[in-house]
Structure 1
Amino acid sequence: MSNDQISDRPDDNNFQHVKTWVFDLDNTLYPAENNLFSQVDINITNYVSKLLDLPFDDARKIQKKYLLEHGTTLNGLIHNHSVNAAHYLDSVHDIDFAPIARDLILDQALQNLEGRKVIFTNADTPYAEKVLERIGIAHHFDGIFDIIAADLAPKPEVSTYDRFFDVFAIDPKQSVMFEDMVRNLIPAKQAGMGTVWVNTGSPWGEADYDASVINVETKQLTPWLDEFVNQTANR
């Protein structure tokens, strides 16, 4: 794996003439250390525990098994237990958003980043909007492609990427994707996108690691993007 340095960016082959910048949401647009998604994660475990009448630790094993096998725990629960998606999403996203603070540096970096910006998330739009508002960056994005728009087929389903490209009229070869899970970058890279992996150090983020699908690796988005736009402006 590469170091957390802007110099690890390839020689502009995937970052020149970018028309669309695609951002994952959780643990990408805000630091994983904020532990916002950990609240969702615990809610998911509790949901599985209650649904299947399992102790917390056993429910967590099922939760992560479904995550790796089906892309999201929700998708696994739908396939195996006919869970109602709306009820699940409302339940697991009932959290305290206070840990998310306004990010002025990211706000400015996105302002200076030329090109269209969109959100591509396995969460739902109401939750995504709350996160973006807390960070103070909602106004930079032209749209959100969420799990409902994906017809509940989560990243890394290839068909979902095709649907996403179609909905937003995206040319993958003129786009870059930011994501904290390597497995979700694989279809992006195969489609021709440039890729930035935000490595949070989690085993879920590193699952299916393949260096060939990663153009850039960084521990946090904000400092990398800030340096990127500053270097681009000085060329």
Structure 2
Amino acid sequence: MTKAVLPIDPAALPIVTEENVLIFDLDNTLYPSSCDLFSQVSTLIGQYVSDSLGLPPEEAFRIQKSYFHRYGTTLRGLMLEHKIDPADYLHKVHDIDLSVVAPAPVLSNALMALPCRKVIFTNASRGHAERVMARLGIADHFETIFDIVDADYIPKPEKLPYDRLLSRDGISPKNAIYFEDMAKNLLPAKDMGMTTVWVHSDSDWAHEGRDDPRIDHETDNLPVFLEMLVAKAAR
């Protein structure tokens, strides 16, 4: 078992039963943020903005970040301001090298041992999620994926995607445990009644909201945290 750096009190952890649903964000949650896939995606987004709008790289970068902060994703800004094709965008910006993501047998075994439904909830595309899950070796453990298309391109932490996920997949929030690297994305989930787990990220922008009392648990080692849930469920 890999040693967790952040101390966790087993007595404070929830007991996972068949009634629970584990909801996982994808990027920087199911794999370590040190893989830094976002740098690859960010570069491709900048290239897409530059090519689509006919802008030099410096101006494209400014637009990219402006839309991200104003609309939650650069994609939504491009859709609203320039009517770009979201399918084309998602295909191109997720055409990245996943070799930096190592297979995760400890994570896979922990997921398999937890006796409940498991779903992916991501602001990325279904295709990207499927590729990452295949690389990690965990695809078989998940019932479904809820991606940015399912959310009508409205990103977390807007409340609409959470409502749609729960409604589509018949999830009661009181039975849901939500794992996410972006602390602020946990806050709407807690307001709805979910148990929240912040998975630490190296990215500064993922720390917004980290001190909010609506975050129930935190970990810097997801596989170890899940193994502790397995151990508690087996008692």
**So what's the TM-score if we normalise by structure 1?**
0.89
Q: Percent identity?
A: 46
Match of 1:227 in 2: 228
Structure 2 counterpart SS, 1:213: coil
Q: Is the contact between residue 45 and residue 93 of structure 2 (CA under 8 Å) also seen in structure 1?
A: yes
Q: Which runs of 4+ in 1 moved over 4 A?
A: 14-18
Q: Which amino acid aligns with 1:142?
A: E
Equivalence map 1:1-20=2 (5 Å): 4-7=6-9, 11-12=12-13, 17=17, 19-20=20-21
Q: Is the contact between residue 195 and residue 215 of structure 1 (CA under 8 Å) also seen in structure 2?
A: yes
Structure 2 counterpart SS, 1:6: coil
**1:115 Cα deviation after fit:** 0.9
Q: Is the contact between residue 49 and residue 56 of structure 1 (CA under 8 Å) also seen in structure 2?
A: yes
Count of residues paired in the alignment: 230
**1:81 Cα deviation after fit:** 2.1
**1:55 Cα deviation after fit:** 4.5
Cα separation, partners in 2 of 1:186 and 1:224, compared to 1, 3 Å: same
Matched, 1:135 2:136: yes
Q: Is the contact between residue 174 and residue 193 of structure 1 (CA under 8 Å) also seen in structure 2?
A: yes
Deviation sequence 1:48-101 (CA, Å, 0-9, x none): 233344444543343233223322221122122222101110110111121222
Deviation sequence 1:161-186 (CA, Å, 0-9, x none): 11110000000011110111112111
**So what's the TM-score if we normalise by structure 2?**
0.89
Q: Which amino acid aligns with 2:117?
A: R
Matched, 1:96 2:97: yes
Matched, 1:160 2:134: no
Equivalence map 1:121-200=2 (5 Å): 121-200=122-201
Match of 1:109 in 2: 110
Deviation sequence 1:195-235 (CA, Å, 0-9, x none): 111121312212344421211122232222223323443x3
Cα separation, partners in 2 of 1:62 and 1:223, compared to 1, 3 Å: farther
Q: Which amino acid aligns with 1:6?
A: I
In 2, the alpha carbon distance for the partners of 1:62 and 1:219 equals 33
In 1, the alpha carbon distance for the partners of 2:86 and 2:162 equals 20
**1:46 Cα deviation after fit:** 2.0
In 1, the alpha carbon distance for the partners of 2:32 and 2:227 equals 15
In 1, the alpha carbon distance for the partners of 2:158 and 2:119 equals 18
Match of 2:82 in 1: 81
Cα separation, partners in 2 of 1:111 and 1:16, compared to 1, 3 Å: closer
- Runs of 5+ consecutive residues of structure 1 not aligned to the other structure: none
Q: Is the contact between residue 122 and residue 147 of structure 1 (CA under 8 Å) also seen in structure 2?
A: yes
Q: Is the contact between residue 117 and residue 140 of structure 1 (CA under 8 Å) also seen in structure 2?
A: yes
Match of 2:212 in 1: 211
Match of 1:51 in 2: 52
